[in-house]
Amino acid sequence: MCLAIPAKVCEILKNNRIIVDITGVRREADISLLEETLEIEDYVLVHTGFVISKLDKKQAKEDLKLWDELLQA
Amino acid sequence: MSDPTERYRSKHVTEILLKKINKEIGQIGNPVRLMHVCGTHEHDLVKAGLRSLIPKEVELIAGPGCPVCVCSAQDIDEVLWVADTHGAIITTFGDMMRVPGSTESLYQAKGRGVDIRVVYSVSDAIKIAEKNPKTDIIFFSVGFETTSSITAAEVIRTSIPNFSIYSSHKLIPPAMELLMQRDDIEFHGFLAPGHVSTIIGSKPYDFVPEKYNFPVAVAGFEPVDILLGIYSLLKQIRENKPKVDNVYKRYVKEEGNLAAIRALDDAFVISDARWRGLGVWPKTGHEISKKYAHIDAKKKYTIPDLPLTDLHKGCLCDEILIGKTKPSECKLFMKSCRPDHPIGACMVSHEGTCNVAATYEEIDL
Ligand code: SF4
Ligand code: SF4
């Protein structure tokens, strides 16, 4: 029940709702607890039907660089 | 961009991190105990078999991180009292059904006819209330900041006369502080919970290194995430430079999710809370704030003091919850207490320490 699952944004609906793809299954989710705006193809974490966080794509790229450094050190 | 999650399962990165972890612990020269406070960490690290991959000198202990396991029997008794005396329908998460109350679990109560319905989220409970306007509906709400923020959103925007929420919500950072203050459990660093941190951010842990000289790593849930967290903690220990290291930056900001924090601050006030078998811990709970008293089940119903049995005879859940005792040290483990017949809360949920030990032990054998 406290799981938060990574999902991909597929459709932006009205009234703070979106459709996400969770490993192939489409589900509706509520985005009223998210401050950032979402676009299709964004990745988010969904917890009991609400989006709680949006993936920071820049940071995800940064992670790869950090690993490279770490792996070489 | 393809699904970024896959990358955090990379075997190659995992192997290199394991080497780094080996090197760090070799340099430290003493065994190290690291505590996580998240049921999902427990589940995912067991699933990935990480305990057998990391050096045996690094012990990962499970703290009180599963909201189902830490839920006191008192809360179950109280919602059942409301159902029995007011004919209310109880709605809650499936995980809660088999958690023992003082005399019965919700599942057992359902067997004698109490109307209890499992929901996926608080929003589903509200739909049930709308469909049954003549019946009282209670949503039995458990969870840490992640789940509390969702409940908060609904507390703020919902006003249905026959619907109320019983809050059993708890807070992670003050619980961490109480764990550090105990001298009966020895550990050297915290793997802070990734999902709770998406909400509260990494800042609320600053007091841990500042006041207690204790390292923290905020970590996600894929094998690479967890190993990065462990590696960071060992490095901090070796260098004796404790800090809050956020290795889950792709989802966790320093300041957290501001909209969710605003909702939490508006809907709830901080209160004392009872943890399973551990008594009342000051300022570790979330009660619905006065402003939303109309939706607070604890205000709507005058619940009397009920006789409480938080731990059944022989059950060591209180010690399991704080990482003091291992499931195999409990005499009931896999004897009278099994996943299909749980005696304590830690055997109930998929991420309860005793349940995880039981499930994976069976696979191992
Ligand atoms: S068992 Fe359920 S309540 Fe416990 S940590 Fe896991 S998801 Fe959360
Ligand atoms: S094995 Fe069962 S009785 Fe023993 S501590 Fe765990 S839940 Fe309690």
**By CA distance, what is A45's nearest residue in B?**
B251
Give, for ligand 2, the residue of B341, B343, B355 to mutate: max count of ligand atoms closer than 8 Å to Cβ: B343
B194: Cα within 13 Å, side-chain hemisphere: 26
Angle, CA of B320, B321 and B324, to the nearest 5°: 50
Q: What is the pLDDT of residue B282?
A: 96
Q: What is the pLDDT of residue B167?
A: 98
* Percent of chain B predicted with pLDDT > 90: 83
CB-CB under 8 Å, B121 with A48: yes
B136-181: per-residue pLDDT in tens?
A: 999 999 999 999 999 999 999 999 999 999 999 999 999 999 999 9
Residue B331 pLDDT grade (very low, low, confident, very high; cuts 50, 70, 90): very high
B67 to chain A, minimum CA–CA distance in Å?
A: 8
Give the residue carrying structure tokens 């690993």: A67
Q: Which two tokens stand for residue B239?
A: 């260098």
Q: Residue B364: is its pLDDT beyond 50?
A: no
| Pairwise CA distance, residues B105 & B96, whole Å | 9
Q: Which two tokens stand for residue A15?
A: 């009234």
Q: Are B120 and B130 in contact (CB under 8 A)?
A: no
Q: Which two tokens stand for residue B130?
A: 């709308």
> Which chain B residues in 213-252 lie under 8 Å from chain A, judged by CB atoms?
249-252
CA torsion angle B17 B21 B27 B32 (round to 10): 160
Report DSSP letters for chain A, one per residue: ----EEEEEEEE-STTEEEEEETTEEEEEE-TT--S---TT-EEEEETTEEEEE--HHHHHHHHHHHHHHHH-
Write down the pTM of the prediction.
0.93
- Predicted complex ipTM: 0.93
Q: Are B100 and B109 in contact (CB under 8 A)?
A: no
* Ligand 1 atom nearest to A1, measured from its CA: 7
Residue B285 pLDDT grade (very low, low, confident, very high; cuts 50, 70, 90): very high
**By CA distance, what is A51's nearest residue in B?**
B150
Ligand 2 proximity of B311 Cβ (cutoff 6 Å): no
